[in-house]
């Protein structure tokens, strides 16, 4: 009596692997997928996306482009000898991660004036090794600068977008949205005030120059506004200490910012009377 022993062996197991690039995957990536079956080498390959057969794909590797080809991928091996097939692989989900976001900010902040030069800065949410690409009205202006800032006229700020690019993955950011800002055609006028008008020799008096918005340097003039300023300050106040009679007279101020400097109109004069 002969006994017959039948040994049942499991089919080879297939799996889908990402060859390149490394995850996370971004919009625009070319992704190479591989059908990995550890046993045997003479497979032909069958690929499935979202449970549908991909009849044109028969190689071990397949390349897809995101985001249009995102989805669930499976593969299976077929061969003429035993075993004639592998198991169908588990689903491997291929999805896209949003590219890093870019945003534009403008300095100085707040209200801008027609004709002044401002600085635009491009900030990107992730990574630091970007080069910066600037677009004005959709046309490339500055390709691949290592500096994240550019200068432009205030009237053109809302026409600019920026984008980052780098050699590593991800190789680009999203392009920023257009910046919505207010630009006024009215040149601002400085307003000058004094904490006292009639003072005695040896006292001090503080002048204050007021301008709407921020980021100004202040220029102080005595007698003639077309002369060089008697002082320049980063703050809006200017103090005359231990005054003498010769310090009296008409004072004006104005403010400036940017490079080249954009100036406000001169203030109306304030008269300082010093008595002995």
The CATH fold assigned to 191-275 is: Immunoglobulin-like (2.60.40)
Q: Give me the architecture of the 15-94 domain, per CATH.
A: Sandwich (2.60)
Give the pLDDT confidence score for residue 7 in this predicted structure.
Answer: 52
Give the pLDDT confidence score for residue 156 in this predicted structure.
Answer: 93
> What is the pLDDT averaged over residues 113-117?
95
CATH of domain 102-184: 2.60.40.10
Annotated domain spans of the chain: 15-94, 102-184, 191-275
Across 104-124, b (16+ Cβ under 10 Å) vs e yields bebebeeebbeebebebebeb
* 169 φψ region: left (φ > 0), alpha (ψ -120 to 50), beta (else): beta
More confident residue, 85 or 223: 85
- At which residue do the structure tokens 């291929």 appear? 94
Pairing of strands 139-145, 131-136: antiparallel
Pairing of strands 139-145, 149-153: unpaired
Give the pLDDT confidence score for residue 142 in this predicted structure.
Answer: 79
Same CATH fold assignment for domains 15-94 and 191-275: yes
Residue 4 pLDDT exceeds 80: no
More confident residue, 266 or 179: 266
Categorize the per-residue pLDDT at 182 as very low, low, confident or very high, splitting at 50, 70 and 90: confident
Give the pLDDT confidence score for residue 181 in this predicted structure.
Answer: 86
Give the pLDDT confidence score for residue 180 in this predicted structure.
Answer: 86
Q: Could you report the per-residue pLDDT of 225-258, keeping only the tens digit for each?
A: 778 999 999 999 999 999 999 999 999 999 999 9
Q: Could you report the per-residue pLDDT of 30-53, keeping only the tens digit for each?
A: 999 999 999 999 999 999 999 999
> What is the pLDDT averaged over residues 203-214?
94
Residues 6+ apart with CB under 8 A from 186: 113
Q: Could you report the per-residue pLDDT of 65-100, keeping only the tens digit for each?
A: 999 999 999 999 999 999 999 999 999 999 999 999
């Amino acid at each position: 009596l002969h006994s017959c022993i039948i040994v049942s062996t499991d089919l080879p197991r297939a799996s889908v692997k990402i060859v390149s690039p490394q995850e996370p995957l971004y919009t625009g990536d070319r992704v190479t997928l591989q059908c990995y079956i550890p046993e045997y080498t003479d497979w032909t390959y069958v690929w499935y996306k979202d449970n549908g057969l991909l009849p044109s794909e028969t190689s071990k590797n397949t390349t897809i482009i995101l985001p249009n080809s995102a989805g669930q991928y499976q593969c299976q091996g077929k061969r003429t000898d035993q075993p004639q097939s592998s198991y169908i692989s588990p689903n491997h989900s291929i999805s896209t991660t949003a590219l890093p976001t870019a945003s534009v900010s403008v300095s100085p902040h707040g209200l801008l004036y027609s004709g002044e030069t401002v600085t635009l800065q491009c900030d990107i949410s992730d990574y630091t090794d970007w080069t910066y690409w600037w677009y004005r009205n959709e046309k490339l202006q500055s390709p691949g600068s290592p500096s994240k800032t550019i200068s432009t006229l205030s009237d053109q700020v809302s026409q600019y977008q920026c984008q980052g690019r780098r050699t590593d993955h991800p190789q680009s950011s999203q392009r920023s949205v257009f910046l919505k800002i207010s630009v006024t055609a009215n040149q601002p006028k400085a307003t000058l005030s004094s904490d006292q008008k009639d003072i005695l020799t040896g006292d001090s008096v503080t002048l204050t120059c007021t301008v709407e918005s921020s980021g100004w340097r202040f220029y102080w003039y005595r007698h003639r506004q077309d002369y060089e300023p008697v002082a320049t300050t980063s703050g809006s106040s200017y103090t005359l200490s231990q005054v003498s009679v010769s310090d009296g007279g008409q004072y004006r101020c104005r403010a400036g910012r940017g490079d080249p400097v954009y100036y406000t109109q001169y203030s109306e004069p304030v008269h300082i009377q010093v008595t002995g």
